Amino acid sequence: DVGIPQDYRHMEGFGVHTYTLISKSGKTLFVKFHWKPTCGIKNLTDEEAKVVGGANHSHATKDLHDAIASGNYPEWKLFIQTMDPADEDKFDFDPLDVTKIWPEDILPLQPVGRLVLNRTIDNFFNETEQLAFNPGLVVPGIYYSDDKLLQCRIFA
């Protein structure tokens, strides 16, 4: 499952940062987000990557745009892992350390939604650059944690 992704449609995604979920009643949970492609994971061998990347360095972007244009909308399922902040010190690793992976056998993935890309964007800067790469943009019910790298990125 780990390798050079064939394209974006067959690639998993996950956030390295830990955020905090806050319920309407004020209960908090640490959370990590995971995206799983519904069309499965496909990777390239080193040799395939040299050929594909050598022919078109933007092949994954082209594949994504072509799929959307043809109505073959890419889709990912959204999963979360949650942890009670009171349990933070019960693990043999720091759950807020971005270099640590939360074990799925202890903190299982929970399905919560899906993402379907059914159109391409009109303005890359406004619709992607300003939004997608700013970890400080959160919606009601999601807040920051004491994840040190997240705090640095928000401050910057």
Residue 41, domain CATH: 2.40.180.10
Q: What is the pLDDT of residue 98?
A: 95
Task: Taking residues 9-23, report their average pLDDT.
Answer: 96
pLDDT of residue 132: 67
Task: Evaluate if residue 16 carries a pLDDT over 70.
Answer: yes
Q: How many domains does the chain have?
A: 1
- Given a cut of 60, whether residue 90 has pLDDT beyond it is yes
Instruction: Look at residue 1 and tell me whether its pLDDT is greater than 60.
Output: no
Of the candidates 13, 60, 70, 61, the one whose C-alpha atom is nearest the C-alpha of residue 37 is: 13
| Of residues 72 and 128, more confidently modeled | 72
Would you say residue 101 has pLDDT above 60? yes
Task: Give dist(CA 21, CA 23) in Å, integer.
Answer: 7
Whole-angstrom Cα distance, residue 122 to residue 104? 38
Where do runs of H (alpha helix) occur along 1-137? 46-55, 59-69, 124, 130-132
Task: Pick the closest to residue 146 from 80, 98, 101, 108 (CA basis).
Answer: 98
Q: Which domain holds residue 89?
A: 4-155
- % of the chain at pLDDT higher than 90: 82
Q: What is the dihedral of CA 130, 134, 137, 138, to 10 degrees?
A: 130
11-25, 63-77, 128-142, range with the lowest pLDDT: 128-142
